[in-house]
Amino acid sequence: MLIYDVTKEELIEFLVTNGHKKYRADQIWHWVYKQKISDFKEMNNMPNDLIELLAQNYKLNALELVLQHRSQDGTLKCLYSLHDGHLIESVLMKQHYGNSICVTTQVGCNIGCSFCASGQLKKKRDLTAGEIIAQIIETEKLLKERINYVVVMGIGEPFDNYENLMKFLTIINDPKGLSIGARHITVSTSGIVPKIKEYAHMGMQVNLAISLHAPNNEIRSKLMKINQAYPVEEVIDAIKYYLKVANRRVTIEYILIDEVNDMDEVAHELVKVLRGLNVYVNLIPYNEVLEAPYKRSKIEQQLRFYDILKKNRIQVTLRKEQGHDINAACGQLRSQHL
Ligand code: SAH
Ligand code: SF4
C-alpha cells in the first residue's frame, strides 16, 4: 500500500497498534506531504525502528515517469506508469494565477463517450486515492514548483471511483496534507445523477463541473451513451439539487463539435435549458481524436455560439486553443503511446 493511501486516522491507528506515539502521525505527514520525501530514511527526527516499520508496510514511489512533453506555453504533459505497468497521464498547466494540474482517476473509462480518447480504452481498474495524490507530488518534483490548483478531468469518470475520490480530496485539502484549497479544486463528471446528489452533501467547498455537451437528448445520446441512463432533464434536476444543497455555482462544460452541437438553434436551446440557473458555461473547442468522426467547430461558429449565450445573459467563457487544452491533452498522450 502507498503511504498516500493512508488517512490520518488510519495512520494513527497503525502507529498505536505498533507501540508508537500518536503525534508521530503529524511528523510523518510533514515529511510525506511537505518535504515530499522519496525514502523514509530521509526522516531525520524519527526513531530507526519506526522508519523500518514504515518502509516494511508502505510504499512511497507510486509512479514511474515514462514520457514528458513540454510545450512552449509551459504546459507539461506527463505519462506515468503504475506499479502494475498501466499507463496514466497528468497535465500541468501554467496559468496566470498559478500552477494547475489535471489528474487521472481510472485506467481507461467505461462511460465510453464517442468523442473521447479515454473512452475508447475500456476501464482496466480504478486508481487508489494514493495513486491520484502521487500524480500531484511527482509532477511538483519534476516542475520544482508548488501546484496550487487541481482539476479532476484526466482519464476516467471520477464519480465511478467515488470513495477513492473522496479520500483523495480529503487528503489534498488537509492543511497538514497537500493543503490545496477546496475552492482551487474542480471535479468534472459526465453526469452520474445519484452521485451528483451525494456529492452535494459532501461538505467541502470543492467545485463541480458537469459535461453537458448538448441541450437535448437527441444530440447528447449520440455523444454520450450515459445519457440513456441519465438523460438531460435528470442531469438538470441534479444540478438544481446541487445548487440548492451546496449553494455553489456549477460549471457546465460544453465541447464545440462542428455541425453536431454548435448550431445557432442549439445555442438557443441551451439558453432555455440553463436560464435562471447559477451556472457558467465553459465552451471548449473540440480537440480532434483518432478514430472519432468529429471535427472541431469552425472559429466563426465558436464565436457565434458564444455570442448567443452572452446576449442571452448566460455566463460563458470560450477557451482559447493552445497546448492549454487540458481535456484534450488528457488521455491523448496515453492513447497515442499505446
Ligand atoms: N469523465 C469526466 C472527467 C474527464 S473528461 C467527464 O467526462 O466530465 C474531462 C472533460 O474533457 C469532459 O468535459 C470531456 O467531455 C472533455 N473531453 C474529452 N475528450 C475531449 C476532446 N477530444 N476534446 C475536448 N474535450 C474533451
Ligand atoms: Fe470517460 Fe469523461 Fe471521456 Fe466520457 S469524456 S469517456 S466520461 S473520460
Residue 285 CA: which ligand is closest?
A: 1
Report d(CA 79, CA 167) in Å as an integer.
Answer: 23
pLDDT (tens digit, 9 = 90+) per residue, 233-269? 999 999 999 999 999 999 999 999 999 999 999 999 9
Surface-to-core class of residue 260, CB atoms within 10 Å of its CB (0-12 exposed, 13-18 middle, 19+ buried): buried
Of 102, 325, 327, best ligand 1 pocket probe by most atoms within 8 Å of the beta carbon:
327
Strand partners of residue 316? 281
Please, what is the end-to-end C-alpha distance for the chain in angstroms?
27
Q: Which atom of ligand 2 is nearest to the CA of 117?
A: 3
Please report which confidence band the pLDDT of residue 82 belongs to, taking 50, 70 and 90 as the band edges.
Answer: very high
Range(s) for CATH 3.20.20.70 in the chain? 65-337
**pLDDT of res. 327:** 46
Q: What is the dihedral of CA 299, 301, 302, 308, to 10 degrees?
A: 150
What is the CA(37)–ligand 2 centre distance, in A? 33
**pLDDT of res. 334:** 63
Q: Which atom of ligand 1 is nearest to the CA of 327?
A: 11
Residue 330 CA: which ligand is closest?
A: 1
**pLDDT of res. 118:** 77
What is the CA(18)–ligand 1 centre distance, in A? 45
**Does position 323 have pLDDT exceeding 70, yes or no?**
no
Q: Which atom of ligand 1 is nearest to the CA of 211?
A: 13
C-alpha cell belonging to residue 219: 444530440
Helix (H) or strand (E) holding 106: strand 106-107
Report d(CA 210, CA 251) in Å as an integer.
Answer: 6
**Does position 337 have pLDDT exceeding 80, yes or no?**
no
Decide if 309 contacts 55 (C-beta within 8 A): no
> Looking up cell 445519457, which residue turns up?
227
Q: Across all residues in the chain, what is the average pLDDT?
A: 93
Report d(CA 62, CA 132) in Å as an integer.
Answer: 10
Report d(CA 321, CA 2) in Å as an integer.
Answer: 37
Please report which confidence band the pLDDT of residue 120 belongs to, taking 50, 70 and 90 as the band edges.
Answer: confident
CATH 1.10.150.530 fits 3-57, yes or no: yes
**Mean pLDDT on 179-191:** 97
113 included as an active-site residue: no
Q: Ligand 1 pocket: which residues have CB below 6 Å? A: 115-116, 153, 157, 188-190, 211, 253, 255, 284, 286-287, 289, 327-328
More reliable by pLDDT, 338 or 174: 174
Report d(CA 258, CA 261) in Å as an integer.
Answer: 7
Domain covering 65-337: architecture: Alpha-Beta Barrel (3.20)
Range(s) for CATH 1.10.150.530 in the chain? 3-57
Please report which confidence band the pLDDT of residue 321 belongs to, taking 50, 70 and 90 as the band edges.
Answer: low
Decide if 223 contacts 263 (C-beta within 8 A): no
Please report which confidence band the pLDDT of residue 72 belongs to, taking 50, 70 and 90 as the band edges.
Answer: confident
What is the CA(42)–ligand 2 centre distance, in A? 40
**Does position 330 have pLDDT exceeding 60, yes or no?**
no
**Does position 183 have pLDDT exceeding 60, yes or no?**
yes
